[in-house]
Amino acid sequence: MKMRRKFLRSCCTLAAAGAGAHVLRLGQMPAMAQSSPNYKALVCVFLFGGNDANNMIIPLDGARYTAYQTMRPNIALASNTLLPVAAQGASYGLHPRLTNIQRLYNQRKAAMMFNVGTLVQPTTKANLNSATLPRNLYSHSDQTQQWQTANPTIAGGSGWGGRMADLLAGQNASTFPIGVSVNGSAALLQGVTSRPLNLTPGTALGLQRFGNSTAMNAREAGLQQVLTFDTGMQMIGAASGVMASAVRGAQEINAALAAGTPLTTVFPQTGLGRQLQQVATVMRVRQALGMNRQIFFCGMGGFDNHSDQLPAHDNLMGQLDAAIGAFYASLEQDLQLANETTLFTESEFGRTGNPSSSNGSDHAWGSHHFMFGGSVNGGEAYGTFPTHALRGPDDAGSRGLWIPSTGLDQYAASLGTWFGLGNGDLNTVFPNLRNFPNPTIGFLR
């Protein structure tokens, strides 16, 4: 009886995720599927809460640093603590905890994207009152969704990664999902037809078998009856054998993971460290899964720092840096996939230029981000850095609400082009991209 309850609980857990996680195709994976050498992976690291990029990337040139320091006197970082990098012919300083990121940047394996955010069309202070703006700017839930759907004028909808998966699924040698989230349900990976797989780092997939095959088959047959309502409708799919198929599919994936060569890289055992370790583990068995294209979603929270920001943000930057450093080391040492993988950051918005009354910062708009990989045109920054002036040329209000100089669509479409989307596909995936005269940015080769 205990085994039966355990089995039902495992099945219902996956069933509950069925709307957002891949269920039907798990059992359809060919046992000997093989990917081709044309493998590419995108890895999103979402910084939930709104990362204060004003304290992540800071201008070091005299007058510009003075403007930054004047703008946020209580939470400005001392210039002699910052990690210097060069970009666009100027000097910038990274947050002092970003030692791995500084090293990767100086090795031209990382790049910076200045002042990017959700936009419907190019927007400046001059047309701010007449331009169509994203819905509910400065709202956590709305902007988190919009960064993942790339459709800032409507609520809900599919994700831009999911729409890419819809178009590129045929490039894989199996029906294993292109999208894999290791951070719960992710709107980014929800397609119109494709669905992602949700994995919990450090655990095997659910739907494990118990006992011998004869007994298990009987349980599976009984389970189909349990999961059928009196009306004849089923909780999972229309096919009567889908649950047994999911069980067998989970076994196949777990077997592939167990048979792969163990990672030698030591990952930090933080939330993001474990997630990126799980991503590397799945990438390690890409050939057994028949994958040529994969999109992964990771995330870490805690960035909504309205008060006492300096120690909290310092800790978060340290966790981010250690996890990305380990993941990149694994790409190079364990997987030999540095050139085939691009990791990029997202966050729902940046933070205000001036501090809050309690030594934190508040919700803003445009923000800075990082891109990593052997195909990144690294050691450089892209986009336009905002002027650190309250009520200045880049401020949508009076507190340093940076109007993005680059739209999310342009940032993500650059990733999509590298991933294999054609020009026509880009407009399908990013419905507002046609509003921008420069649809992509050359940070990938």
Dist. CA 69–CA 77, nearest whole Å: 8
Q: Per-residue confidence at 252, pLDDT binned at 50, 70, 90?
A: low
Q: Considering the domain boundaries, does residue 235 fall inside one?
A: no
Checking if the pLDDT of 138 tops 90, the result is yes
For residue 382, the surrounding DSSP H or E stretch is strand 381-382
| Distance between CA atoms of residues 58 and 114, nearest Å | 11
Question: Of 54-68, 138-152, 237-251, 321-335, where does mean pLDDT reach its minimum?
Answer: 237-251
**Is it the case that residue 201 has pLDDT exceeding 50?**
yes
Q: What is the mean pLDDT of residues 436-444?
A: 97
pLDDT at residue 27, as a whole number: 41
Q: Is the pLDDT of residue 319 over 70?
A: yes
pLDDT at 429: 98
CA distance 42 to 297: 9
pLDDT score of 36 = 59
d(CA 345, CA 51): 10
Is the pLDDT higher at 15 or at 165? 165
372 sits in which H/E element: strand 367-372
Given a cut of 80, is residue 139 above it in pLDDT? yes
Q: Read off the DSSP letter of residue 302.
A: -
Of 189 and 243, the structure prediction assigns the larger pLDDT to: 189
When mean pLDDT is compared across 200-204, 333-337, 351-355, 368-372, the lowest value belongs to 200-204
What's the rounded mean pLDDT across residues 191-198?
A: 95
The pLDDT assigned to 253 comes to 73
Asked if 322 and 100 count as a contact pair (C-beta separation under 8 A), the reply is yes
Give the number of other Cβ atoms within 10 Å of residue 332's Cβ: 15
- pLDDT, mean over the chain: 88
How many domains does the chain divide into?
1
> What is the token pair recorded at 163?
């729409």
Q: Is the pLDDT of residue 329 over 50?
A: yes
Number of neighbouring beta carbons within 10 Å of residue 324: 24
The string of pLDDT tens digits covering residues 372-391 is 999 999 999 999 999 999 99
* Terminal CA-CA length for the chain: 57
Query: Which residue, 117, 88, 89, 160, is CA-closest to 443?
Result: 88
Q: Tell me which amino acid residue 114 is.
A: F
Residues facing 406 on adjacent strands: 116
Return the DSSP state at 32.
Answer: T
Residues of the chain with pLDDT > 90, as a percent, come to 78
Query: Structure tokens of 159?
Result: 């994700």
Which range (217-231, 279-293, 304-318, 325-339) has the least confidence?
217-231
3-class DSSP state for residue 116? strand
Residue 241 placed within a domain: no
Q: For the chain, what is the largest distance between any 2 Cα atoms, rounded to a whole number of angstroms?
A: 76
Report if residue 23 sits inside a domain.
no
- pLDDT band for 16, please (50, 70, 90 cuts): very low
Residue 119 CA, chain-centre distance (Å), reads: 19
Cβ atoms within 10 Å, residue 244? 20
Q: Is the pLDDT of residue 289 over 70?
A: yes
Q: How far apart are CA 188 and CA 408, in angstroms?
A: 13
Give the residue-averaged pLDDT of 34-63. Answer: 93
- Domain-embedded: residue 92: no
Greater confidence (232 vs 185) lies with 185
pLDDT of residue 256: 79
Q: Quickly tell me which residue has 């340093």 as its tokens.
A: 400
> Which residues are 43's β-sheet partners?
296, 343
With a cut of 80, say whether residue 183 has pLDDT above it: yes
Q: How many CB atoms lie within 10 A of CB 257?
A: 18
DSSP one-letter code for 403: P
pLDDT class of 404 with cuts at 50, 70, 90: very high
Domain membership flag for residue 396: yes
Residue range(s) defining the domain that contains residue 417: 32-58+97-203+265-435
Residue 127 is assigned to a structural domain of this protein: yes
Question: How many whole angstroms separate alpha carbon 36 and alpha carbon 39?
Answer: 7
Q: Cβ distance 207 to 16 under 8 Å?
A: no
Give the predicted TM-score (pTM) of the model.
Answer: 0.88
- Residue 91, in any domain of the structure: no
The residue behind tokens 């940047």 is 105
Of residues 442, 415, 315, 401, the one with CA closest to residue 43: 415
Q: Check residue 112 and give its pLDDT.
A: 99
Is residue 265 over pLDDT 90? yes
The mean pLDDT value for 171-176 works out to 92
- Name the residue type at position 141: S
Closest CA to 331 of 300, 372, 366: 372
242 found inside a domain:
no
Give CA 405 to chain center in angstroms: 21
* Spatial distance between the Cα atoms of 143 and 349, rounded to a whole number of angstroms: 7
- Is 60 exceeded by the pLDDT of residue 120? yes
CATH number where 123 lies: 3.40.720
pLDDT at position 255: 77
DSSP letter assigned to residue 313: H
Letter string b/e over residues 342-381, b meaning 16 or more CB atoms within 10 A of that residue's CB = bbbbbbbbbbbbbbbeebbbbbbbbbbbbbbbbbbebbbb
Average pLDDT over residues 8-37: 46
